Each structure stands twice: as C-alpha cells, then as structure tokens.
Amino acid sequence: MKGIVIKSTGSWYSVRLANKELIEARIKGKFRLKGIKSTNPIAVGDVVTLKEEEDGTAVINAIDKRKNYIIRKSVNLSKRSHILAANVDQAILVVTLSQPKTYTEFIDRFLVSAESYHIPTIIVFNKIDIYSDEEKEELAFLKYCYENVGYQCLTVSATEQTNIDSIKEVMKGKVSVISGHSGVGKTTLLNTIEPTLDLKTSEISEMHLQGKHTTTFAEMFELSFGGYLIDTPGIKAFGLIDFKKEELSHYFLEMRELLNDCHFNNCVHINEPKCAVKNALENDEIPAFRYNNYVSIYNGDDDENYRGLGY
Ligand code: ZN
C-alpha cells in the first residue's frame, strides 16, 4: 500500500493512507538516496510504499521519486543537510511593511531559494490595516514590481480577517509551505485560515529556537477546505541549494529572460559592457532594488546569516 508521510519524529513516521487512515511506520535497514547527504532519509511530503505488520504498525519499503524537496543546510561540520519537506507545490512567504518591516533583500533571497528548488512563491503582505500612507504607497509599488516579475501577491490582515479567503483560494488542493521571519504574524494568519489547526508554533518559540542546533521536524496538516500545509517550526527561511553564483541571475526571473541578449555569454551583469540586464535597469525595466539585491546576494553579503538560522 501507499501513503504520504505527514509527520516524522526521527525513527517513526505517521503516514496517511489513501483511505485517510493514519498508520505509524518505520524503516527497516538502510535507506540511501542518490545525491543527497541528509540526516533524514524520509521527509514530510514523501510518498512511500509500505507493508503492514502484525502489530498494526507498518514498514516503509520504498519511496517515490520526489518532485522537489527543500533542505536546511547543516550548521555543523558534518556537511549533511536536513530535508525539511518533499513534494511541495508552492511556498507562501508572509511579509509585512510595518512592525516589523520585511526588507526586499529578505524577500529576494527567499525567492532565489524557492526558484532554485523549482517552487513557485506567493507573497502575502500582512498587517495592511496598520500601514501608514507612505507604507501603503510602498505596498502598491512592491506589489506592482513583484507581479510584473510574475509573482502573485496578496494583501491581507490576519487580525482584521481581511482577504483571508484569497489565501484559502490559493492554498486549496495544494501542498504549501509557509514562511516568514519573526513578527510578521504567521501564526495568527494560520490560525485565522484554519482555526482548528491550533498550531503549536508560536513566534516566541521560534525566537527560542534561534541559534540552537536542534533538529526540527516539519509537520503536515490537512486543511478542511482541501490541501495541505507544511509548517516548519523554527525555520524562517530555507537555505540556498548549491549553485554557482554565476547562475544567480537564472533565479531572478526578469533577468533570466534577458540572459541571451548580453554581449558576453558568461556575463554576470555587474561590470561587463553591453549587458542586457544593466540596460534594462537603466531603462527602468528592472527595479533598482531588485538589481541591488542581486548584487548583494552575488557578493555573498550576509551569506552566513542566511544559511544558518540567524534571520
Ligand atoms: Zn549581463
């Protein structure tokens, strides 16, 4: 029989079967997956084949090929990564322009990661009820820019329950991971979307986890209106997958379209002449903040912080 892993505690996995029944399962023997040095062989979201044992538990025999997966880079010397979740349809990035402000560099670093994992992102601007006139203008500008790049943007207020249906609409029938740094109101938002979830992750416990090298396991929740939500306690952003920094512009969607037009085919769009990206920047076709964030990520500024849990 087959099922989907919705929770893992290290040695046991809760697997939801096609008939919606839950079964506790474990792995027998060694499980090795090609190309990934990970501390956990099976993650939440994995589709597995299992066999029921006499005591009512089950043994996992095989794991289906993953559509994608997200990892947390190791923070110690073992260089092994922890797979947070597999087979993710979309990421929902919760941001806010007030109390506390989310900087576009945080947004763009997240988008680059998500693009590198081939996971589409929806940007949710929360707390719109408390924005000043200036912040409202900034919201309109950022929404325009990100929508132009191709990202869906939603504007909501979790506390005022404004536009909550728009989030439900995009989550319906999909497997979503939800992210955002401390204070953006992620937990309030999730509890508004699905009050029965009663999420254990509080923003306080997230802050508690900061800097600790604890192994955190994601959990997958079934949504009453259809779909799944993967919550990853203590993780505000996931790590960048390994790629050469020369490829960074592939993950800035508006730049990717221009790459063939640069004069040099190994152009990294910083000092090269006849660069299509810099041309587009000069013609206001690429917003300056996006380009500046590109340069900052390219130069590895704050990389250390980003790869760890330090945000
Ligand atoms: Zn270029």
pLDDT in tens, 15-66: 999 898 999 999 887 666 666 667 778 899 999 999 999 999 999 999 999 9
Q: How far is the CA of 272 from the centre of ligand 1 (A)?
A: 7
Cα dist from 69 to 34, 102, 113, 121, 240, whole Å: 13, 25, 11, 14, 12
Ligand 1 centroid – CA 256 distance (Å): 10
39, amino acid identity: T
Q: What is the SS3 assignment for 241-280?
A: CCCCHHHHHHHCHHHHCCHHHCCCCCCCCCCCCCCHHHHH
HSE of 213, CA atoms in CB hemisphere, 13 A = 7
Nearest to 227 by CA among 167, 299, 157: 167
Instruction: Give the model confidence (pLDDT) of 252-307 as tens digits.
Output: 999 999 999 999 999 999 999 999 999 999 999 999 999 999 999 998 865 544 44
Torsion sign, CA atoms 152, 81, 241, 287:
positive
In the chain, the amino acid numbered 64 is: D
The b-or-e profile of 300-309 (16+ CB within 10 A means b, else e) is eeeeeebbbb
CB–CB of 170/205 below 8 Å? no
The alpha carbon of 11 and the centre of ligand 1 are apart by a number of angstroms equal to 48
| CA–CA gap between residue 111 and residue 294 (Å, rounded) | 11
Separation of CA 270 and ligand 1 centre (Å): 7
